[in-house]
Structure 1
C-alpha cells in the first residue's frame, strides 16, 4: 500500500464484473540472472516477473504496468503514459503552473519534483508542490488542455546522495512507514545509513551485504557501505510538499514539459523547442552520461528517448508518432516543451550550475516563457534565455557572467557532431532494427542541420 492505491477503494472502482485489470505474477525464484524474465503482454494485460528481486521488477504496478503496458493502452486510447515527474509552482499571485519533466536515472528527477525554492523566491511567496516524482499519465481534459495524474501512491527513491541539503523533502518522506533496501545500518542507533547521508560514515556499521565493519576504515579503502542503487520506498503523504491535488482523479493541467539529461558539454542550461514537433524531436534525442542507476560503464553517452528507453511498450517509432498525434490533437493548447541540462562543466570538470534548489531559477524562466512574459534568443537548436532573464540574485558568487555565458552557449561544431550522432542513432539503432521513425522527425534533423550551416 506504499506504492499503490489498493484494497477496497480499488475493488469498488473496478466494479463486481469488470475484467479490465492487469494480472501480475512475481517470483524471485533463485534470483538467477541467466533465467531472468521480466515480460509484459500488453494485448493480454499480463505481467510475469521471474528471478529478480530489484524493486523496479517487483513492484509490478510501477514500470511494468504504469509505463510498459500503460504506454500501449495510451496509444490505443489517445493518452500518454510517461516517465515524468509532476510538480506545481505556486506564484505569489496564487496562480499554480504545473510542469512535467523526464530525465534518465541519476539526473535529479526526485530532487526537482520536491524542489525547495531559494530563500529569495520563498520570501517573494513562491511555493513548490509535488504531485509525482516518477510517472505521469496524461490525457486531454474537457477544456482541451493536457492533464496529468500520478498513478502511484509513494516514492521509490535512490538513497545514496539523499540528505537534508540535497533533498530535505525526500528525506522527510522516509521518517515513518518507509522500507529501505540494500542500505547500510548504523549500529550505534540501529538506523539506515548511505553515502552522503551524513558527512562521515558510522564507525560501527553493517554494510549492505550484511557484514559488520568499521565504517570509517571500510570506506577509507574505497568501499561503499550502501549499494550505489540502494533505495527507499516511502508513502507520498509523508512528503511535506505533497500537492493538495495529489488525489484529484481529473489531474492537473500541464503548462510545460521538460526533457533533460546529464551532459558535460553541448546541451545548454535550458532551451525551448520551436513547436511541439520539434519538442518531440528533442525528446527523442535525450541522452545522458551513464551512472550507477543503469547497468554498464560509467560516463558513456547513452541514448534514452523521452527517458523511456526501458519502458516503451511498443515500437519506438510508433511511440514517437503517437507523440506527434497527441500534439496535433492538443493544437494550440499543447504544453510548451523545453530541454534542461544541470550538468554542464568547465574545462576542469567543475559544474557551472549549482543545481538543486537553484534549478527554480530555470523553472521561473520556463513559466515566464509559457506566460509570454519574456523574450528569447532564437538559435539553430531552439529558443534560449537572454542572460539577464535568468535570476541570479543570491548566487552571483557561484555563477559568474562568464559561467552564465558558457551555460547559454550553442557551440555549432559540437551541435553538428550531435546531429551526425542523431542521424546514426536513428538509422542504425532504430530504423535498422525495425523502428518506424516518422518522417517529421527526420525533417526536424534536416532543419536543425540547415540552421547550423547558415
Structure 2
C-alpha cells in the first residue's frame, strides 16, 4: 500500500521553511507588491509552504504569480518571445519552440519515483531512494533559478468541481511551460482553496531548465515523490518532461485512484470521444493507446471529441461510468497528421486566428511549419530541431535527418477544434462511458476490433497490450509490453493496479445496463503477416470510422457478433455497410479483406498469451483472474486449432 506523507518531505527539508510566519516573511522579501497581493488570496497554508520552500530552494531573482487573467497570460506569452523560448511564426498566434536535440522526448532513463525503504514500485519503472533524491536536490536544484524569474500557476486537472478532478500547482522558470499550461489546463486561481478542500489533496510541481545547455542534459532528472505528491524536473525543456501537470501528475492520479479511491475512480491514459449512432444517438468512448499509436486520430474521428490523451473516471450515483478530460487542450504528435486523416485538426493547424505552439518541426524561410506526413510538399531547406536543415542532411552517423522530429508536437486549445464538444468537456458531471478500447502496434496477431465477453476478459485485453517502441521515449527500442497503455505511468506494483481494474469494472455500483463494453482495437495488421499481395498496412487511417461505428452499434445492441475464444468479432455484412456509409468518401470492403483481417492466427495468439503469462508470472501477487482468463482462452484456441487448423476463418466460427 502507498503511505502518504511518509519520509522526509524533500521540498520543506531543503527549503527550510517550516511555518506560515516564515513563509510570509520570505514572500515579502521575494515578491513585489503586485504579486504579493495576488498570492495573499491563496489561504491554504500547505500550498503556501510548498511555494515558499520552492522559492527558498531555487533562489529566483523575481517571482510572478499567474492568476490566469488575460493580462497575466499576455505577459507570459511576451516573456516567452523575449527570452527566445518561442518565436512568432507567419500566422498570428502561432509560435515555434525548439528543444535541445538531446531533449526531444521523455527521458525514460532519467525519470525516477522517489521511494521510502521497503516501498515497492512497478517492476517496469525506475526508482531512487529518498536520501539519494535529497542529495540531488541539494546539489543541483539549490539556486537553479538565480538570475531567472519564477512563475507560479494554480490549475485544475479536470473541470472545476468534477468528482475526479484534482488541483495542482505548477512552478517553473520557463515561460514556455507556463504558456503551455495555460493552453492545456484550467487555471483555478480563484477557486484553488475551495478545490483543495473539496478533494482533500493537491499536487505540487517544480521545474527549472537551468542554463539549457546540451552538456547539462546528462544531469537532467524527473523525480516524482509519491508520498508527498511533489515532482521535480531539472535541466530539460521538452514538455513531456517539464509540464509536470501532465504525465507527472497523471502518475500521482493513478496512485490516488488505486490506493485511496479503490473501486471508485480510475486515472487512465485514454482519449474520450463521442460517436454518433442511429437517430442522432451519441455513445461515448474512452480508449487507451500508447503514444504514437493513433490515439489522437481515433479521438478526433469522433463526432463529439472531448479529449485525446488522459481520462479521469468514476462511478456516478446513477450507476454510470463517467469521465472527464483532465486537460482542456492538446499536446499532440503531428507526424502523419494530414488533411485526409485529420481534417478537423488540420483546420486549426493551417487556419487563421487560433493559438498554436509548435515544437521541433521544420520552419521555412517564410516562417511556415512543415512536418513529415503533412500531405504537402516539404521545402528543401529551413530550420528544425537540430538547427539549419537541408534535404539530404545527415547526422554524425551518416543517417538522414528528417525535416521534423518524429516526436514533434503542436499545443492548441481543444475548443478550437470543430468537432470538440466544449460544453460537455467542461461539464463537471462528465460524460457517460459506454465503450472502453485498448490498442497498440501489432502487425501480425490480433484483428482490427474484438469485444471482451465479460469485464474480466476486458481487463485482460488492457493488460495484454503490446506495442512497437515510438519516438516519444528516448533510449527505448523494439517491441515491448504496454499494459493498459499506462505502463510508463503506473507507479506502484502492477498487481495493485490490475486488482483496482478488476474491482472497478466488476463493481456492483455500475448498473448492468450501463456496464461498459470493453474492446481491443488494432490498426497495424500488415499485408505481409496476413498473406496479402500489397505492402504496408492492411487498412487505412480512414477505416477507424468503421471500427468505431461497429462498436457503437454493438454497445447499443444493434448488431450481433461472432463469438471466438478471444471475444466477439464483427460479421462481414455489418462491416461492409459501415465502410460504405461511414468511411470518408465511402469504401468498398471486400470479403477477401475481411477474412484476412479477422481470421484467427491461432499460433500467433497463443504465443502472445504465453509471452504475457510468462511476464506476469515474474510479478508478485498478480490477481489469479488474469491467469484464469489466459488459460481458458488458450484451451479454447487449441481446441479450435485441432478442429480447423492453425488459421481459422470467421465463417468457420459463425
TM-score by length of 2: 0.63
How many residues align? The count is: 432
Checking the alignment, whether the CA contact within 8 Å between 1:132 and 1:150 is kept in structure 2 is yes
2:515 to 334, 341, 346: 334
Once residues 50 and 70 of structure 1 are traced to their aligned partners in structure 2, the CA distance between those partners, rounded to angstroms, is 22
Checking the alignment, whether the CA contact within 8 Å between 1:25 and 1:47 is kept in structure 2 is yes
Once residues 505 and 298 of structure 2 are traced to their aligned partners in structure 1, the CA distance between those partners, rounded to angstroms, is 25
Q: In structure 2, what is the equivalent of residue 205 of structure 1?
A: 382
Once residues 165 and 225 of structure 1 are traced to their aligned partners in structure 2, the CA distance between those partners, rounded to angstroms, is 20
- 1:268 and 2:268 aligned: no
Further displaced range: 191-200 or 232-241: 191-200
Q: In structure 1, what is the equivalent of residue 591 of structure 2?
A: 401
Q: In structure 2, what is the equivalent of residue 230 of structure 1?
A: 408
Checking the alignment, whether the CA contact within 8 Å between 2:392 and 2:401 is kept in structure 1 is no
Higher RCO (Cα < 8 Å, 6 or more apart) = 1
In structure 2, relative to structure 1, the CA distance for the partners of 1:362 and 1:18 (3 Å cut) is closer
Once residues 410 and 267 of structure 2 are traced to their aligned partners in structure 1, the CA distance between those partners, rounded to angstroms, is 24
Q: In structure 1, what is the equivalent of residue 277 of structure 2?
A: 91
Residues 412-432 of structure 1 show CA distances to partners (whole Å, capped at 9, x for unaligned) of 11111111111122124xx1x
Once residues 411 and 360 of structure 1 are traced to their aligned partners in structure 2, the CA distance between those partners, rounded to angstroms, is 25
Once residues 386 and 376 of structure 1 are traced to their aligned partners in structure 2, the CA distance between those partners, rounded to angstroms, is 6
SS in 2 for 1:240: coil
SS in 1 for 2:275: strand
- 1:38 and 2:204 aligned: no
Checking the alignment, whether the CA contact within 8 Å between 2:580 and 2:587 is kept in structure 1 is no
Q: In structure 2, what is the equivalent of residue 282 of structure 1?
A: 461
1:132 to 307, 313, 318: 307
Checking the alignment, whether the CA contact within 8 Å between 2:297 and 2:341 is kept in structure 1 is yes
In structure 2, relative to structure 1, the CA distance for the partners of 1:15 and 1:84 (3 Å cut) is closer
1:452 to 628, 632, 637: 637
Once residues 198 and 313 of structure 2 are traced to their aligned partners in structure 1, the CA distance between those partners, rounded to angstroms, is 27
In structure 2, relative to structure 1, the CA distance for the partners of 1:397 and 1:86 (3 Å cut) is closer
SS in 2 for 1:419: helix
How do residues 66-105 of structure 1 correspond to structure 2 at under 5 angstroms? Answer: 67-75=250-258, 76-77=260-261, 78-105=264-291
Q: In structure 1, what is the equivalent of residue 80 of structure 2?
A: none
Checking the alignment, whether the CA contact within 8 Å between 1:387 and 1:408 is kept in structure 2 is no
- 1:425 and 2:615 aligned: yes
Gaps of 5+ in 2: 1-181, 529-533, 640-654
Once residues 266 and 254 of structure 2 are traced to their aligned partners in structure 1, the CA distance between those partners, rounded to angstroms, is 6
- Note the C-alpha offset of 1:94: 2.5
- Note the C-alpha offset of 1:92: 4.5
Checking the alignment, whether the CA contact within 8 Å between 2:288 and 2:484 is kept in structure 1 is yes
Checking the alignment, whether the CA contact within 8 Å between 2:277 and 2:552 is kept in structure 1 is no
Checking the alignment, whether the CA contact within 8 Å between 1:105 and 1:294 is kept in structure 2 is no
- 1:372 and 2:551 aligned: no
Residues 148-175 of structure 1 show CA distances to partners (whole Å, capped at 9, x for unaligned) of 0001011001122112222122233344
Residues 106-149 of structure 1 show CA distances to partners (whole Å, capped at 9, x for unaligned) of 11111111116xxxxxxxxxxx1110000000001121110000
Checking the alignment, whether the CA contact within 8 Å between 2:452 and 2:518 is kept in structure 1 is yes
Further displaced range: 156-165 or 385-394: 385-394
SS in 2 for 1:266: coil
- 1:192 and 2:373 aligned: no
- 1:384 and 2:569 aligned: yes
- 1:23 and 2:210 aligned: no
From the CA coordinates, give the structure whose radius of gyration is larger: 2
1:253 to 432, 435, 455: 432
Once residues 182 and 367 of structure 1 are traced to their aligned partners in structure 2, the CA distance between those partners, rounded to angstroms, is 37
1:353 to 520, 539, 542: 539
Once residues 562 and 200 of structure 2 are traced to their aligned partners in structure 1, the CA distance between those partners, rounded to angstroms, is 53
In structure 2, relative to structure 1, the CA distance for the partners of 1:92 and 1:16 (3 Å cut) is closer
- Note the C-alpha offset of 1:349: 4.0
Residues 352-410 of structure 1 show CA distances to partners (whole Å, capped at 9, x for unaligned) of 11223x21111111111111121111111111111112123277866432111111111
- Note the C-alpha offset of 1:50: 2.0
In structure 2, relative to structure 1, the CA distance for the partners of 1:204 and 1:353 (3 Å cut) is closer
Q: In structure 2, what is the equivalent of residue 122 of structure 1?
A: none
How do residues 304-319 of structure 1 correspond to structure 2 at under 5 angstroms? Answer: 304-319=482-497
In structure 2, relative to structure 1, the CA distance for the partners of 1:277 and 1:18 (3 Å cut) is closer
Checking the alignment, whether the CA contact within 8 Å between 1:182 and 1:230 is kept in structure 2 is yes
Q: In structure 1, what is the equivalent of residue 627 of structure 2?
A: 442
Further displaced range: 197-206 or 242-251: 197-206
- Note the C-alpha offset of 1:27: 1.7
Further displaced range: 101-110 or 325-334: 325-334
SS in 1 for 2:559: coil
- 1:114 and 2:300 aligned: yes
TM-score by length of 1: 0.89
Once residues 385 and 314 of structure 1 are traced to their aligned partners in structure 2, the CA distance between those partners, rounded to angstroms, is 37
- Note the C-alpha offset of 1:14: 2.8
Residues 21-42 of structure 1 show CA distances to partners (whole Å, capped at 9, x for unaligned) of 2111012235644333222223
SS in 1 for 2:613: helix
Checking the alignment, whether the CA contact within 8 Å between 2:277 and 2:553 is kept in structure 1 is no
Once residues 628 and 192 of structure 2 are traced to their aligned partners in structure 1, the CA distance between those partners, rounded to angstroms, is 47
SS in 2 for 1:353: coil
Once residues 197 and 321 of structure 2 are traced to their aligned partners in structure 1, the CA distance between those partners, rounded to angstroms, is 31
Checking the alignment, whether the CA contact within 8 Å between 1:354 and 1:398 is kept in structure 2 is no
